[in-house]
């Protein structure tokens, strides 16, 4: 029997529009993605409030909040907890760890999480550690899913936002670990789209000294 993706609560695809939804958060009611129109935003889910791994992640996101904002990106967390629980958890983090959580946290009843494929069938009603990066047009550009037992790397989320923004701005692709590629010592170099004509391919091969390994693999400096 055929079941479509939404009826099963399947994971959306990269390139899909972020679903329009109104959510209750610690900063009041919000409409997504409308609330962040014209901005990048990072939505990340956590299994539950008052759990140790999630606490380390929220502290880490909060401490890097200004770096996300400098990239034009906003943060928003979520889990299937009541807003009262979120508020008390935010207070606990401030009182005990002296960290302000300055971004909103969605209090979901489960429908929104299922729509985004955040609830693992074998993990009860808890959300997985999902990360969605959404661009200023409301399009899902990147998704990362972690199991409950592994905390996220905030550096990688920041790097991903910067890489996506740069790719859009300059029309180039980013090598492994950009802007600190070490496997080929490319550093912050970016990758030029492959040649699409025989003439361009021959010209590309002739420029190996200028960063072209071959017609399909050429790089250039990026300063930014």
Residues involved in catalysis:
54
| Local structure of 209: helix, strand or coil | helix
Cα–Cα distance for residue pair 174/216, rounded to 1 Å: 14
Alpha-helical runs (H) found in the chain = 5-8, 52-63, 65-70, 83-97, 111-115, 154-170, 198-205
Cα–Cα distance for residue pair 96/108, rounded to 1 Å: 26
Report angle CA 162, 168, 173 to the nearest 5 degrees. 80
Cα–Cα distance for residue pair 120/130, rounded to 1 Å: 11
Torsion angle, CA of 126/105/7/31, rounded to 10 degrees? 170
- Show the tokens assigned to 111: 């429908």
Cα–Cα distance for residue pair 84/169, rounded to 1 Å: 41
Report angle CA 49, 51, 52 to the nearest 5 degrees. 135
Q: Which residues pair with 107 in a beta bridge?
A: 24, 79
């Amino acid at each position: 029997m055929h079941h479509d993706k939404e009826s099963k609560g399947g994971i959306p695809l990269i390139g899909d529009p972020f679903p329009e939804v109104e959510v209750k958060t610690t900063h009041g009611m919000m409409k997504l993605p409308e609330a962040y129109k014209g901005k990048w935003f990072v939505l990340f889910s956590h299994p539950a409030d008052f759990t140790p791994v999630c606490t380390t992640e929220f502290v880490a996101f909060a401490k890097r909040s200004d770096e996300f904002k400098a990239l034009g990106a906003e943060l928003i967390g979520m889990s299937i907890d009541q807003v009262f629980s979120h508020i008390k958890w935010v207070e606990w983090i401030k009182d005990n760890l002296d960290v302000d959580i300055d971004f909103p946290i969605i209090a979901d009843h489960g429908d929104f999480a299922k729509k985004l494929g955040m609830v693992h069938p074998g993990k009860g009603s808890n959300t997985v550690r999902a990360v969605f990066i959404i661009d200023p047009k409301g399009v899902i550009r990147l998704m990362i899913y972690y199991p409950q037992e592994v905390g996220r790397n905030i550096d990688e989320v920041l790097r991903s936002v910067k890489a996506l923004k740069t790719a859009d701005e300059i029309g180039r692709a980013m090598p492994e670990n950009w802007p600190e590629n070490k496997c080929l010592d490319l550093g912050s170099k970016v990758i030029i789209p492959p040649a699409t004509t025989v003439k361009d391919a021959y010209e590309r091969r002739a420029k190996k000294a200028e960063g072209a390994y071959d017609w399909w693999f050429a790089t250039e400096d990026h300063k930014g």
